Amino acid sequence: MAGATDLLVHWPIRPEAQDKTYLDLSAISELRPFRWTDVSLHIGALTTYWDILRDPQTRAEFPLLHEAARQVGAIQIQSRGTWAGNIANGSPAADGVPVLLAYDASVVLTSMAGSREIPLREYYTGYRNSVRRSDELITSIILPRRRYDFSVFHKVGARRAQAITKVGIAVTREAGARAANPWRVVASSVAATVRRCPAIEAFLASGALVRVPSDFFASIDADIRPIDDIRSTASYRRTVLARLLYHSLRGVSATVV
Amino acid sequence: MLRIEGLSKLCGAERYLDDEPLEGPLKGCLWGMTVRSPVSRGRIRDIVYGAGFNWSEFVVVTPDDIPGPNETYLIENDQPVLAPGYVRHMHEPVALIAHADRDLLRRALASIRVQVDPEPPVLDFRVPPRPEQIQRGTDNVIKQLRICKGDVEKVFATAPIIVEGEYETGAQEHVYIENNAMAAWIEDGPAGDVVVVRGSMQCPYYVLNAVKHALKRDETRVRIMQSPTGGGFGGKEDYPSTIALHAALLALKAQKPVKIVYDRSEDMAATTKRHPSLVRHKTAVDRNGRLLAQKIEVILDGGAYVTLSPVVLSRGIIHAAGPYSCDHVLIEGRAMLTNSVPYGAFRGFGAPQTIFAVERHMDRIAQKLGISPLEVRRVNLLKDGQTTSTQQTICGGTDRHALLERALGETDYARLLAQAEEFNREHPYLRRGVGIATVLHGAGFTGNGEVYLNSKVDVAGLPDGRLEVLAASTEMGQGTNTVFTRLAADAADYATDDVLVGMPDTFRVPNSGPTVASRTVMVVGKLIERAISDLAAQLGGGGSPLRGKALKDAIIAWHRVNGGGSLKARATYTPPPNVKFDDKKYIGDAYATFAWGVCVAHVEVDLRTAAVRVLHFTSLQDIGKVINPTLARGQVQGGTVQAIGWALSEELKFKDGGMANNSLTNYIIPTSDDVPPIRVLFHENPYEHGGGGAKGVGELPMDGPAPAILNAVAHATGCDPLAIPLTPERLMPLLEATP
Amino acid sequence: MNSNAAHKPVCAESDAITIAFTLNGKSHTAKVAPGERLLDTLRYGLALTGTKEGCGEGECGACTVLLDGLPANSCLVPAFQVRGRDVRTIESIPAERLGPLLESGATQCGACTPGVVMTAAWIRDHRSELQSFTTRALMAGNLCRCTGYDGIIDGLERWIASESGGRS
Ligand SMILES: Cc1cc2nc3c(=O)[nH]c(=O)nc-3n(C[C@H](O)[C@H](O)[C@H](O)COP(=O)(O)OP(=O)(O)OC[C@H]3O[C@@H](n4cnc5c(N)ncnc54)[C@H](O)[C@@H]3O)c2cc1C
Ligand code: FES
Ligand code: FES
């Protein structure tokens, strides 16, 4: 456990959670800081949202980290919640995960047997399931330093703070033609995990003209399958995703008019 | 004057029930918990206590342990204290357990299985019940009420224009931040043991009556004390009687003190909520928008027991026609029995539901006629001398037309409107709109309610010359103690430091009636003034009543002479002159007076997400004399924000008849970032029969915001929302269907 | 031992964890159960009942304390995690300083109030670093059902003005 902001929710009335065994990381000070190399940003296992929010350099290079961190819970959660905990918790409604995915982050998993680095996009295998073995910890998150000429994060919750995401997007476009497709489109709360949307990315790169939000529906439907739950409805999620994409990219992408 | 207990609250020193040290009467206190029904309706086959627990260590209470009738004393006494073999709603209390170790108790509780043979529940109050769903009379109707003025059908037959509409409002959870909490213990008394209950409550005498009834004791052997109460809003009006009885039953069985403190999810799932409503309007108007006939049908979901539904319905129908003049009005209301948690009191008590409907309907009439929402109100707002639906002649000198014009002027309404329209032409996906609502709220109990209540207040002169106000009216955040102190000090010409307000304790204070219906300052405050003037007259010995230092000296002198005696004066309610109400026919003066208000909402709708944001909100209120501006403003601002939540985000989700989103994470009340500053304006017109000239302020703020906001959304987007909460999920399909 | 401790979470003696931490400026040791929340330690173990429980799910902020100087929900802090750290509760704030919040009507029923005051105290002490946030956004982790928030926001602004430059 790190900030325990997921783990301790309704703790007294969850005896099943109390009966498990936890390893507390909070006192390992080495895991707290984040650090820069020439090519990447390393977020520690105990780095909190507030740690990032206070840092001007991350804001300049990775503005979506700030956007997301600002919209997580409120200060009481930002001060304690960690980026690694957000990944490990595995909620499809997580707000840290989509922006990390949009920046092509990878995750360092460490066990007594050693460490391995895997791309975050390959981390989840299903609803609250991942490739992480039970003897592994997330010890850091690595973000490659690249130039982006566009990035946006939208969180749609039931209120402006202290809200669980009903539908969210994180979109980046890498500057320069290094990658085959410069677009990264990530959607949250519309599938079993937060996920990249390859069909939408391909659609954006295809040059097809987008004149109304509903032009996104075909690629949205290829990527995700939202559900009805106590927080929202499938049809709302699908409609909002299309509208957010359209209005965010209008004028940004030459094809969205 | 600053809030009396304010600093103690700010620095965390105020002791709510769960903060009390476990010493004195609470020494050795056990925790109590409630075994609840897992289904909405059915016959209990068995209660199976889980393996792995030494149940002899636990105190267990079942209906057999109830000394008197297994009934919660209220209007009809149909709600059992513990379900006697048959459950009528999900989470209904079935049995009680207690133990000193709270975690162990929680695990033990989770191990208990209540086995029920389910029967078909009624989960939708809007559709007529099927035969196998009938549980009351022949039609599940809890209460039916009717107001009839003139002859609507005759008007409809020849009316030039008829506008119809159907409006719905959802349930609302109170979300007082202090959850329900109650402790009970047994003390020795002169006439045998005394059951003492202390806790979070609005109405100590309701609790007293309930405990007396089910424990078969008289008031010398039951003592109810209020502890500081962290919010109520109606949610601690009747339900605390149930919790008090539960704590008392456990304490009697254990012969030890027992404390029941609900956690948030239990409090949300199991306690009362605001009544959901369906209101149908059929209105005949002329081309200028004048109301010719109003036919209104009001249906409330009453939940599984009668509780307070008949009176909520009553207030609901009386407010259903709005603050308008119309010669022909027919209002028919009914409250339906369903298998939901019993719906109960909530700030406004039925009025916000029907006012939502009429105020949306007025805008839709204007729309249909192509006139402005202001015009339709200007044409119809009551003038002094005109009558309401119950044929009560309105007088009192408040000019509702002037109120409306003032609100328009203060908000620069015309400019807001023009700016919104300009903004909407430019912006790709944001739409702004302005909406208005004109409202009324009857102050105090409905009809002859205050006469039946027969409220009493004592004021005692203490040996040191100070005055103590003894009333059962509770402080729960709304400022009772501060205002009582002010009124008493003014009446006696005392410094406020020389006035005490006693904590409600049924061994010490007389029944000043429940702390509900915005009646506390107006009705009880007036009694305080009268008791003081009686005391002053008594001591003045026939001369002019004593005030200030003379009064203080006389009190001290009295005690010197009558050492150890108690010097008290009592005032008992007398109705204002010429107030008459026929509660069979619903004709006459439904309330001694009304408070009036105008709300202006300025909203922004995000077409990408269908989220509605209130940008500005102004509330103009005529509440008689404003006794304490900070407290009164706080009531209006707090009520407005509660109403904004009800209008936009507070939605109860049900699963099998039980609340599925019973957490603060999933039941969405506004945060500070969701609401704008609420601008409050007062119109002062002192009411001669109210304490300090005041009418009620507690509930009026709840009435206007929802319709004003929906009217603004309609203006912003051109769509026609008819139901609240207007969540984005509900608005999006309307937007999609609007060209 | 204070009497509230009778209602503290219990555990086997061998499982209890002894922690040393700073509480309201003084060093302190406490014995806590592994499953004990800081909120329980404060309210029951130490009888510091100013910190309230409104939800137990991190949503309402009534349980807010300052942990190493930052607002945290004590219902979501395992008690053993405060080992070696600095905890400040509402009991550390003298009533005399709260006048501006009283005048503005920042408290009504008072159940949310201690948490509100803790967050407000943090905002006031760090105003210059928090320029990029609105007060309403910073206060959003403290739900209040009574005031509609105006009394709180106004009170905080008065508080900042009345003690500008001053620190607690
Ligand atoms: C009121 C409230 C509001 C919230 N709002 C948001 C929000 O807006 N957006 C959002 O995304 N989340 C939100 N959350 C959820 C939570 O705060 C975040 O997911 C947070 O990032 C979790 O981090 P943590 O350190 O507190 O995790 P913990 O609770 O400590 O752990 C979470 C899970 O991850 C595991 N874990 C933690 N660290 C590691 C590690 N290094 N290696 C392996 N496993 C690990 C734990 O065992 C546990 O299963 C909210 C929570 C609350 C209570
Ligand atoms: S009790 Fe901790 S946030 Fe509500
Ligand atoms: S003052 Fe009552 S909840 Fe804030």
Query: Residue B183 in contact with residue B199, Cβ under 8 Å?
Result: yes
Predicted local distance difference test score (pLDDT) of residue B739: 80
Say what the pLDDT of residue B542 is: 75
CATH of the domain at C24: 3.10.20.30
Parallel/antiparallel/unpaired status of strands B161-169 and B723-724:
parallel
Question: What's the pLDDT score for residue A183?
Answer: 96
Name the burial class of residue B560, with classes exposed (0-12), middle (13-18) and buried (19+) by CB atoms within 10 angstroms of its CB.
exposed
Residues with CB under 6 A from ligand 1: A 1-7, 9, 25, 45, 72-73, 77, 80-82, 84-86, 88-89, 94-96, 137-138, 162; C 58-59, 76
Nearest ligand, CA C73: 2
Mean pLDDT value of segment A176-187 = 86
A139 and A155 part of one domain: no
Looking at the structure, tell me whether residues C102 and C125 fall in a common domain: yes
Q: Are B248 and B184 in contact (CB under 8 A)?
A: yes
C168: in domain? no
C-beta atoms surrounding C63 within 10 Å:
28
Domain co-membership, A36 together with A136: yes
Q: Pick from B229, B231, B663: which is nearest to C57 by CB?
A: B663
* Other beta carbons less than 10 A from residue B692's beta carbon: 22
In whole angstroms, give the CA distance from residue C107 to residue B7: 9
Which ranges of B89-137 does DSSP label H, i.e. alpha helix?
Answer: 102-111
Fold that domain B455-572 belongs to in CATH:
Aldehyde Oxidoreductase; domain 4 (3.30.365)
CA distance A218 to A200: 9
| Residue A244 to residue A156: CA distance in whole angstroms | 10
Give the CATH number, domain containing residue C143: 1.10.150.120
Helices (H), B129-177: 152-158
| CATH code for the domain of A207 | 3.30.390.50
- Please check whether residue A2 lies inside any domain of the structure: no
Of A156, A236, A247, the CB nearest to B428: A247
Mutate to test the interface with C, among A50, A75, A79 (most CBs of C within 10 A): A75
- Quick check: helix, strand or coil at residue B471? coil
In chain B, DSSP finds a helix count (H) and a strand count (E) of: 19, 28
Q: Identify the pLDDT of residue A151.
A: 98
Give the DSSP per-residue string, A207-255: T--B-SGGGGHHHHHHH------SS--HHHHHHHHHHHHHHHHBTTBTT
Which of B9, B263, B675 lies at the smallest CB-CB distance from C149? B675
> Averaged over B284-302, what is the pLDDT?
98
- CB atoms C140 and A77 under 8 Å: no
* Residue A19, domain member (yes or no): no
CA dihedral A70, A73, A76, A77 (to 10 degrees): -90
Residue having the nearest C-alpha atom to atom 12 of ligand 1: A94
Same domain, C9 and C61: yes
Domain that holds residue C100: 93-162
Contact A161 B673 (CB under 8 A): yes
* C139 contacts on B by Cβ (under 8 Å): 671-673
3-state secondary structure of B516: coil
* Inter-chain residue contact B732 with A236, CB threshold 8 Å: yes
Domains B277-446+584-737 and B455-572 share a fold: yes
Instruction: Give how far Cα A143 sits from Cα of A69, A103, A229, B517, C101, Å.
Output: 16, 6, 33, 59, 44
Domain boundary among C66, C91, C116: C91
Report yes or no on C46 lying in a domain.
yes
Q: Which of B382-386, B463-467, B497-501, B539-543 has the lowest mean pLDDT?
A: B539-543
Residues A78 and A120 in one domain: yes
Mean pLDDT of B380-399: 96
Best of A70, A76, A160, A164 to substitute, by most chain C Cβ atoms within 10 angstroms, is A76
Residue B55's CB: how many other CB atoms inside 10 A? 14
* Residue C166 confidence class, pLDDT cut points 50, 70, 90: very low
Q: Residue B545: what pLDDT?
A: 85
Please check whether residue A21 lies inside any domain of the structure: no
Asked if residue A107 belongs to a domain, the reply is yes
A242 within some domain: yes
- Would you say residue C76 lies in a domain? yes
Torsion angle defined by CA atoms of residues B92, B94, B95 and B101, in that order, rounded to the nearest 10 degrees: -40
CA nearest neighbour of C89 among C123, C107, C60, C62: C62
In the listed set C34, C59, C91, which residue is the last one of a domain according to the structure? C91
User: Is the domain of A171 the same as that of A215?
Assistant: yes
Is the Cβ–Cβ distance between B122 and B133 less than 8 Å?
Answer: yes
User: How large a percentage of chain A has pLDDT more than 90?
Assistant: 96
Percentage of residues in chain B having pLDDT higher than 90:
96
Among chain A residues, the shortest Cα distance to C66 is held by A76
Domain boundary, last residue among A123, A144, A165: A144
Q: Which of residues 276-305 of B touch C (CB under 8 A)?
A: none
Residue A244 forms contact with B (CB below 8 Å) = yes
Chains that touch A (3 or more CB pairs under 8 A): B, C
Binning pLDDT at 50, 70 and 90, where does residue C167 land? very low
Based on the fold, state whether residues A155 and A106 are members of the same structural domain: no
Confidence of residue C1 (pLDDT cuts 50, 70, 90): low
Same-domain status, A153 and A134: no
Do A139 and A192 fall within a single domain? Answer: no
Q: Do C140 and B671 touch (CB under 8 A)?
A: yes
* C36 and C12 in a common domain: yes
CA of C113 to the centre of ligand 3 (A): 6
A98/A202 same-domain check: no
Is the pLDDT score of B488 beyond 90? Answer: yes
Q: Rounded mean pLDDT of B120-135?
A: 97
HEC states along B554-571? Answer: HHHHHHHHCCCCCEEEEE
Asked whether residue A123 is assigned to any structural domain, the reply reads yes
Q: Could C58 and A24 be called an inter-chain contact, meaning their C-beta atoms sit closer than 8 Å?
A: no
Interface pTM (ipTM) of the complex? Answer: 0.97
B4, burial (CB in 10 Å: exposed 0-12, middle 13-18, buried 19+): buried
* Judgement on whether residues A48 and A105 belong to the same structural domain of the protein: yes
Q: Which ligand is nearest to the CA of B476?
A: 3
What does the pLDDT look like over B493-528, one tens digit per residue? 999 999 999 999 999 999 999 998 789 999 999 999
Decide if pLDDT at B88 tops 60.
yes
Please give the distance, rounded to the nearest whole angstrom, from the Cα atom of residue B704 to the centre of ligand 3.
22
CATH number, domain B6-119+175-270, options 3.40.140.10, 3.50.50.60, 1.10.167.10, 3.90.1170.50: 3.90.1170.50
What is the second-level CATH architecture of the domain B277-446+584-737?
2-Layer Sandwich (3.30)
Residue B505, beta-bridge partner list: B225
If you average pLDDT over residues C58-80, what whole number do you get? 98
Whether residues A35 and A131 fall in one domain: yes
- Taking CB atoms and an 8 Å cutoff, what residues of chain B touch C110? 5, 8-10, 14, 228, 230, 477
What whole-number distance in Å separates Cα of residue A107 and Cα of residue A105? Answer: 7
Residue A77 belongs to a domain = yes
Tell me the three-class secondary structure of chain C, residue by residue.
Answer: CCHHHHHCCCCCHHHCEEEEEEECCEEEEEEECCCCEHHHHHHHHCCCCCCCCCCCCCCCCCCEEEECCEEEEHHHCEHHHHCCCEEECHHHCCHHHHHHHHHCCCCCCCCCHHHHHHHHHHHHHCHHHHCCCCHHHHCCCCCCCCCCCHHHHHHHHHHHHHCCCCCC
Rounded CA separation B236/B264 (Å): 14
- Predicted confidence (pLDDT) at residue B3 exceeds the cutoff of 90: yes
Q: Which ligand is nearest to the CA of A69?
A: 1
> Does C138 reside within a domain?
yes
Q: Mean pLDDT for chain C?
A: 95
- Looking at the structure of chain A, the number of domains it has is 2
The H or E element spanning position A10 is: none
Of B103, B107, B117, whose CA–CA distance to B49 is shortest?
A: B107
Strands C64-67 and C86-88: antiparallel
Residue indicated by tokens 């108790």: B105
Q: Are residues C61 and C138 in the same domain?
A: no
Domain range annotation of chain B: 6-119+175-270, 277-446+584-737, 455-572
Which domain covers residue A128, as residue numbers?
A: 31-144
Closest CA to B603 of B569, B566, B565, B648: B648
Neighboring chains of C (3 or more beta-carbon pairs < 8 A) = A, B
CA of A94 to the centre of ligand 1 (A): 9
* Neighbour-count burial of B67, counting CB atoms closer than 10 A to its CB (0-12 exposed, 13-18 middle, 19+ buried): exposed
| Token pair belonging to B244 | 């008090």
Q: Which ligand is nearest to the CA of B232?
A: 3
Q: Is the pLDDT confidence value at A214 over 50? A: yes
Sheet architecture: strand order including B222-226: B59-61, B93-99, B30-36, B258-261, B181-189, B192-199, B222-226
Number of domains making up chain C: 2
pTM beyond 0.95: the answer is yes
Question: Under an 8 A CB cutoff, do C140 and B5 touch?
Answer: no
- Each residue's pLDDT tens digit, B460-487: 999 999 999 999 999 999 999 999 999 9
pLDDT of amino acid C164: 61
| C49 and C22 together in one domain | yes
Kindly state whether residues A137 and A155 are assigned to the same domain.
no
* Element housing B115 (H / E): strand B113-118
- Which among A221, A151, A163, A158 has a CA at the least distance from the CA of A190? A221
The verdict on residue A193 lying in a domain is yes
Residues C126, C163 contacting (CB under 8 angstroms)? no
| Domain-located, residue C29 | yes
Mean pLDDT of A28-38: 95
Which amino acid is located at B719 in the chain? C
Going from the Cα of B203 to the center of ligand 3, the distance in angstroms, rounded, reads 19
- Say yes or no: B637 contacts chain C, CB-CB below 8 A: yes
B4-28 mean pLDDT: 97
Question: Which residues of chain A make contact with B736, given a CB cutoff of 8 A?
Answer: 239
User: A69 pLDDT exceeds 80?
Assistant: yes
Are A136 and A180 found together in one domain?
A: no
Q: Whose CA is nearest to atom 3 of ligand 3?
A: C144
pLDDT, position B518: 84
Q: Which one of B649, B660, B661 has the shortest CB-CB distance to A159?
A: B649
Instruction: Give the pLDDT confidence score for residue B543 in this predicted structure.
Output: 78
Q: Within 6 Å (CB) of ligand 2, which residues are found?
A: C 53-56, 58-63, 73, 75
CATH assignment of the domain containing A64: 3.30.465.10
Q: Which helix (H) or strand (E) holds B603?
A: strand B594-606
Cα atoms found within 13 Å of the Cα of residue B200, Cβ hemisphere only: 31
Q: State the pLDDT at residue A178.
A: 66
Q: Which of C91, C126, C154 is the last residue of a domain?
A: C91
